[in-house]
Structure 1
Amino acid sequence: MRTIRVVWGSASAPTAMASYDAALAEAGVENYNLVSVSSVIPAETTVEAVGTAPDLGPAGERLTVVEARATTAGPGRASAALAWAQSVDDGPGLFYEAAGEADREGVERRVREGLAAGQGLRDWEFTDPRVAVESRQAEAGAYTTALVLAVYGESEPII
């Protein structure tokens, strides 16, 4: 069975890109080229919330991800959430993402609402939804990024 790992991280730094890179490092995926996809979980796939990714292959390779990400200049708060539900009997499933300057509860509420709307568009019987939320307060003078990623499998050569 194939595996999708849900990872998360947050960090502050002097630039927006540096805070994003540091948040990726906290999630364990800073050395890969990320390729974003929309939201469908393939059938016969296990989704595991792991926090920090294990070694997924050589640096510089491609990782396929669904990404929830918020970056803000302090003061403020960056929050990101990823929700998912799979259909019963190892069928396909969905990821939904939400992000912004809301608190944890606000971004979680929005991602649950989005997932429920997506489930309503499909004629699948779903398991109970799961949610991962990352949120961090941004200090004045710094950029802060919060992210949650669903990482599909392991890395693949990009060239």
Structure 2
Amino acid sequence: MSTIRVVWGSASAPTAMSSYDAALADAGVENYNLVSVSSVIPEEVAVEAVGTAPDLGPAGNRLTVVESRATTGPDTGSSASRVSAALAWARSLGDGPGLFYEAADETGSEDVEERVREGLAAGQELREWTFDEPRVAVESSEADPGTYTTAVVIAAYGGSVPIIPE
């Protein structure tokens, strides 16, 4: 299996879906049909935090992902709100299997990194693996008043594959 790439992005737009699409574009995965899986990293697969995805195949293909996503609606108050998405991961020693954990916040709270670390630690306790140090990617964005804003952090498993079998 090829590399799992951790990518992230955020954007504001006039609708919730358009802000999500724009955040996916910021992360470089807007042209794929994302298929979410739970959170297990297969053994002997590299995980790289790259920020923006390279070309992962033709538009319209299926891309397997673990996704953290937060979207906030138009702010009617005088101050902008904040959205944050976080993804934490850790591998078991010796290129063994690992875990991803996601957390998202649409209220402006600053504890999304702490919560994702706590979730990952809880998942690690369920397994009899010895883990490396965890890594975390966080994407946060201030929402412009009157718009929707989305933040995403995505682990993209390898390249894309055709969504319709031949």
Identify the TM-score tier after normalising by the shorter chain: over 0.9
How many equivalent residue pairs? 159
C-alpha separation between the residues in 1 aligned to 2:70 and 2:12? 12
Q: Contact 1:104–1:134 at 8 Å: present in 2 too?
A: no
Q: Contact 2:2–2:159 at 8 Å: present in 1 too?
A: no
Q: What letter is aligned with 2:6? A: V
Q: What letter is aligned with 2:31? A: N
Give the alignment partner of residue 122 of structure 1, picking from 105, 118, 127.
Answer: 127
Q: Report what 2:158 is aligned to.
A: 153
Q: TM-score, normalised by structure 2?
A: 0.93
Give the alignment partner of residue 116 of structure 2, picking from 111, 120, 125.
Answer: 111
C-alpha separation between the residues in 2 aligned to 1:102 and 1:120? 29
C-alpha separation between the residues in 2 aligned to 1:140 and 1:23? 17
Q: State whether structure 2 residue 105 is matched by structure 1 residue 100.
A: yes
C-alpha separation between the residues in 1 aligned to 2:140 and 2:109? 6
Q: State whether structure 2 residue 139 is matched by structure 1 residue 134.
A: yes
Q: Which runs of 5+ in 1 are unaligned?
A: none
Q: Contact 1:98–1:110 at 8 Å: present in 2 too?
A: yes
Q: Report what 1:4 is aligned to.
A: 4
The alignment's C-alpha RMSD in Å is: 1.1
Q: Report what 1:144 is aligned to.
A: 149
C-alpha separation between the residues in 1 aligned to 2:68 and 2:106? 13
Spell out, residue by residue over 1:6-47, the C-alpha distance to the aligned partner (whole angstroms, 9 max, x if none).
000000000000000000000000000000000000000100
Spell out, residue by residue over 1:60-83, the C-alpha distance to the aligned partner (whole angstroms, 9 max, x if none).
000000000000013311100000
Q: Report what 1:20 is aligned to.
A: 20
Greater percentage in strand: 1
Q: Report what 1:46 is aligned to.
A: 46
- Greater Cα radius of gyration, structure 1 or 2: 2
Change (3 A) 1:65 1:104: farther
Aligned pairs for 1:70-85 within 5 A: 70-75=70-75, 76-85=81-90
Q: Contact 1:15–1:143 at 8 Å: present in 2 too?
A: yes
Following TM superposition, by how much is the alpha carbon of 1:2 offset from its aligned partner in structure 2, in angstroms?
2.6
C-alpha separation between the residues in 2 aligned to 1:105 and 1:71? 15
Change (3 A) 1:104 1:92: farther
Q: TM-score, normalised by structure 1?
A: 0.97
- Structure 1 segments of 4+ aligned residues over 6 angstroms from their partners: none
Q: What letter is aligned with 2:32? A: Y
